[in-house]
């Protein structure tokens, strides 16, 4: 690979946006990080630390933070969108005129937009049709990235040049970037796994055994693949890093925000209390609502997602949901063989 220098704009100063900016700066790219809070920007520039999202992690000198969106985007050849899904359209609208024709834009946000059930790449294509769009997704806990622990991710785009440019920009001795043409499947996997991280966090708080954890993660993968197939995606994509890889990490690690929310709910906190206690965005809470409602509309069998919806939004007792899950219909263990329903 060649290593051309890029001018990279990262929109969103949360944990993952900061981690991506760290990689880019360490590789020598001109890196600007947009944050809403002037105090956070000052801390990054002066103290080389994001105290709210990655306290204690030293950031490289090459990361320049600013609350001025136009300044961050000026001359950018690569744009990484790492803002929460609820703010995605607002930021796209604000920044539209500052993004040049043909700029490569990569979504790092693992969520779903409620109006129209749109993925972030679909919002990018709608709001910024003059850009070239890709999606970055995988088992990528921000804290481990800034600690330079070995990590793999997937850049997905139907445009092979987008994949190549992002691989060249981000690949380093601790961050390996694989490519995929299935942008829809990769992005959907990143959004769906947040649901099941909440479920396994709740299960951990209840003290379930390893057998139960294995059951939950495996059946979660089945639900994700089933849902994707009904929406026209390839279930085979879910066997990769953006599917099962991301699912295992977020369902197993206490560093996962959605796992943390589930754990707090399992301890008896309300959804609102759990999210407030976390202090960061947990995309899975909103995704549960959207996916459970869409599954019901399309008659897709998703007992885990539906059960979580009942617990979080219908105040159904947990033990009744578990009982219903164990008494549910018996399906095939493996539903897909070579990408088709078995």
The per-residue pLDDT of the chain, averaged, comes to 91
Q: Give me the CATH code for the 7-181 domain, please.
A: 3.40.50.720
All structural domains of the chain with their residue ranges: 7-181, 184-341
Map residue 251 onto helix, strand or coil.
Answer: coil
Q: pLDDT of 69-119, one tens digit each?
A: 999 999 999 999 999 999 999 999 999 999 999 999 999 999 999 999 999
* Mean pLDDT in residue range 307-322: 84
* Mean pLDDT in residue range 113-127: 96
Model-level pTM greater than 0.85? Answer: yes
- Is residue 1 predicted with pLDDT exceeding 50? no
Strands 104-107 and 78-81: parallel
| Cβ–Cβ under 8 Å, residues 9 and 80 | yes
* Mean pLDDT in residue range 195-215: 91
- Looking at domain 184-341, does it have CATH number 1.10.3720.10? no
Q: Which of 27, 86, 149, 193 is catalytic?
A: 193
* CA–CA dist 123, 95 (Å, integer): 13
Chain center to CA of 55: 21
Q: pLDDT of 36-70, one tens digit each?
A: 999 999 999 999 999 999 999 999 999 999 999 99
pLDDT over 90 for what percent of the chain? 78
- 193 carries an active-site annotation: yes
């Amino acid at each position: 690979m060649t290593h051309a220098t890029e001018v990279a704009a990262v929109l969103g100063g949360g944990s993952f946006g900061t981690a991506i900016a760290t990689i880019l700066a360490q590789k020598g790219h001109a890196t600007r990080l947009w944050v809403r809070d002037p105090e956070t920007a000052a801390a990054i520039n002066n103290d080389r630390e994001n105290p709210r999202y990655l306290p204690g992690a030293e950031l490289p000198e090459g990361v320049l933070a600013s609350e001025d969106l136009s300044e961050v985007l000026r001359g950018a050849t690569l744009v990484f969108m790492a803002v929460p899904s609820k703010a995605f359209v607002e930021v796209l609208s604000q920044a539209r005129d500052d993004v040049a024709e043909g700029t490569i834009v990569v979504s790092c946000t693992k969520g779903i937009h409620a109006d129209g059930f749109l993925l972030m790449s679909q919002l990018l294509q709608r709001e910024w049709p003059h850009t070239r769009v890709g999606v970055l997704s995988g088992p990528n806990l921000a804290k481990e990235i800034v600690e330079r622990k070995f990590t793999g991710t997937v850049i997905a785009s139907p445009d092979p040049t987008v994949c190549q440019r992002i691989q060249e920009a981000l690949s380093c001795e601790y961050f390996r970037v694989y490519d995929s043409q299935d942008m829809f499947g990769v992005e959907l996997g990143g959004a769906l796994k947040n649901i099941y991280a909440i479920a396994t966090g709740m299960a951990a708080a209840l003290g379930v055994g390893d057998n139960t954890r294995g059951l939950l993660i495996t059946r979660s993968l089945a639900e994700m693949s089933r849902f994707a197939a009904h929406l026209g995606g390839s279930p085979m994509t879910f066997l990769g890093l953006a599917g099962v890889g991301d699912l295992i990490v977020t369902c197993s690690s206490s560093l996962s925000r959605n796992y943390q929310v589930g754990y707090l709910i399992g301890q008896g906190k309300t959804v609102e209390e759990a999210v407030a206690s976390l202090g960061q965005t947990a995309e899975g809470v909103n995704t549960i609502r959207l996916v459970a409602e869409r599954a019901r509309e399309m008659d897709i069998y998703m007992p885990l997602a539906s059960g979580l919806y009942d617990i979080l939004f219908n105040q159904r007792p947990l033990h009744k949901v578990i009982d219903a899950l164990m008494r549910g219909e018996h399906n095939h263990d493996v539903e897909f063989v070579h990408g088709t329903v078995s």
